[in-house]
Amino acid sequence: MNTFVTLVRLEEWSFRHVRYFSVREEGEDLTLFHGFMDRIGNDPALENELDWMLNWIEHIGNHVLTPLRDGFFRPEGAASALPPPTAAARRANRGAAVELAHGELRLYCHPVNDHVVFLFSGGIKTQEKAQDCPNVREHFRLANRLARKIDAAFRAREIRWADGDRDLDIDDDLELEL
């Protein structure tokens, strides 16, 4: 059975330097990112980790001019992941109010450039490789499929740049088939 997703601008997650987007799977009320926040936020043991992750998203959006070039995203195949690797986090933390390393919570994403990032889903990574971890394997695989589909939609001009390269122009009826 084919699955379709629509691209969604996360208005409440648009900041000075970065605009965040997500996807909504056909038949779902929440975007992948909102579903991630609900799922992780409902686990009291992970509440602090989620707050920490959301602080990083906001910090990158408001204070980091070139997050992709500066290594704020962990390479994960065609996709990426947050939180930032330790070296990037340390560089950013000079004078910043963002805590450094916490547990193993991962949020898979796709930074298209320094100004546009798609946020997907994730979980607690318990193995060295995401594809070996039962908690994040499917999130990792889905993020990689989505990243490839989004890149293909750019090449096909189904997704276009707006405001230079700082925003996207997406038709309301655009659906990507997974």
pLDDT tens track for 4-31: 999 999 999 999 999 999 999 999 999 9
Give buried/exposed letters for 152-174 (b at 16+ CB in 10 A, else e): ebeeeebbebeeeeebbebeeee
pTM of the model: 0.91
Confidence label for 71 from pLDDT (cuts 50, 70 and 90) = confident
CA distance 172 to 160: 13
CA distance 158 to 9: 15
Confidence label for 52 from pLDDT (cuts 50, 70 and 90) = confident
The predicted structure's pLDDT at residue 69: 80
CA distance 73 to 69: 9
pLDDT digits (tens, 9 = 90+) for 112-151: 999 999 999 999 999 989 999 999 999 999 999 999 999 9
Which residues on adjacent β-strands are paired with residue 119? 109
Residue 52 CA: distances (Å) to CA of 71, 127, 152, 161: 18, 21, 32, 30
CA 118 to chain CA centroid, nearest Å: 5
CA 7 to chain CA centroid, nearest Å: 13
The predicted structure's pLDDT at residue 95: 47
